[in-house]
Structure 1
Amino acid sequence: MSTSLPPSIFRLTATFASAVLFLLLHAATTVSATDHIVGANKGWNPGINYTLWANNHTFYVGDLISFRYLKTQYNVFEVNQTGYDNCTTEGAVGNWTSGKDFIPLNKAQRYYFICGTGGCFNGMKVSVLVHPLPSPPRSSLAAGHSSKASASSTVYGGGLKVIGAVLGGFVVAIWCGSGWI
């Protein structure tokens, strides 16, 4: 006596397995960055203590710093420490003028930003220290490995083995007609 399942069951199983695998892999590799809006609800304007604002935030590589301002009145320049201290744009390494600027913080270093339309003299300058991303906690499996390649293969490879085992068991159960669906 043979049991035959309709082809739609196999299509449903393959679709479900693909969706689950995609979601699990995406969840395992997603890293979120923080968007730090300079001045919060006060924006990029004169007379605000941006040093205090910056001291209340922790910046990591991959985060964004955003400036919101009237583009007809202000702008943003990334400068070196001398430019920051003297409110000059000479030697600036970046210039933004959209009024809603999103600037990626891609390196672990100190960044200096000023307003180049004279607002710097009225406090429109901010300096932020960007930290490297903290190391993920070492799992007990990865603790015995010394190379990055073997540690990453343990983290991702081990997770993939578990996902494969679960999905494989699901497919076998469907194939054998256990009635899961």
Structure 2
Amino acid sequence: MAPSRFFVILAILAVFAPSILATNYIVGDDEGWTTGFDYQVWAQGKMFVVGDNLVFKYPKGVHNVLKVNGTGFQQCAAPVGTAPLTSGNDVINLATPGRKWYICGVAKHCAAGQKLLITVKPSIAPIPGPLPAPSPSPLSASSAAPSPSPTAECSY
């Protein structure tokens, strides 16, 4: 019965480990999502992985967040029809690996540096390996191997 419980626990961990291990990154830390901040410097040294979240904090109505491609990032322009995030506490789950680009679409904020480029790595969730063999049943006294005699020599 114990081995089946182990399998159930292992299955639960495999499903929930990525979300438990996920990191919430507050973009810009204490500064938040604003103008006059170097987001590329902020992103340096951070390892973003699938399952992590970016949290864009800013005063509602002052900024927004647009997910763009590399060209949109360079030109500070979102494709027509791109819906901005505007809550002031926008959470973006990093669901796939690769490069991700975000800009502020308000006025000239992007041109003033309010833009972020990151690279998301594949998930680092542990991959379950082979399971240990079940414990052998206790040996009865009659089937136990004889113990060595006190005069036996062992070499190590």
> TM over 0.5: same fold?
yes
Residue in 2 aligned with 1:66?
Answer: 55
The alignment covers a number of residue pairs equal to: 131
Q: Structure 1 CA distance, aligned partners of 2:40 and 2:83?
A: 20
Listed as ranges, the matches of 1:134-145 within 5 Å are 134=124, 136=126
Contact 1:49/1:123 (<8 A) preserved: yes
Shift of the 92–111 alpha-carbon distance from structure 1 to 2, 3 Å rule, reads: farther
Question: Is 1:124 aligned with 2:114?
Answer: yes
Identity between Structure 1 and Structure 2 (%): 35
Amino acid at match of 1:28: L
Q: Tell me: higher relative CO, structure 1 or 2? Use CA pairs within 8 A at least 6 residues apart.
A: 2
Contact 1:43 1:68 in 2 (8 A): yes
Q: 1:2-60 CA distances to partner (integer Å, 9 max, x unpaired)?
A: xxxxxxxxxxxxxxx9xx87994477332311111100011001000100001131111
Bigger share in helix: 1
| SS in structure 2 at match of 1:121 | coil
Taking a change above 3 Å as real, the CA distance of residues 59 and 94 of structure 1, as seen in their structure-2 partners, is farther
* 1:52 aligned counterpart, secondary structure: helix
2:70 corresponds to 1:81:
yes
- For normalisation by structure 2, the TM-score amounts to 0.69
Q: CA RMSD of the aligned region, Å?
A: 3.2
SS at match of 1:122: coil
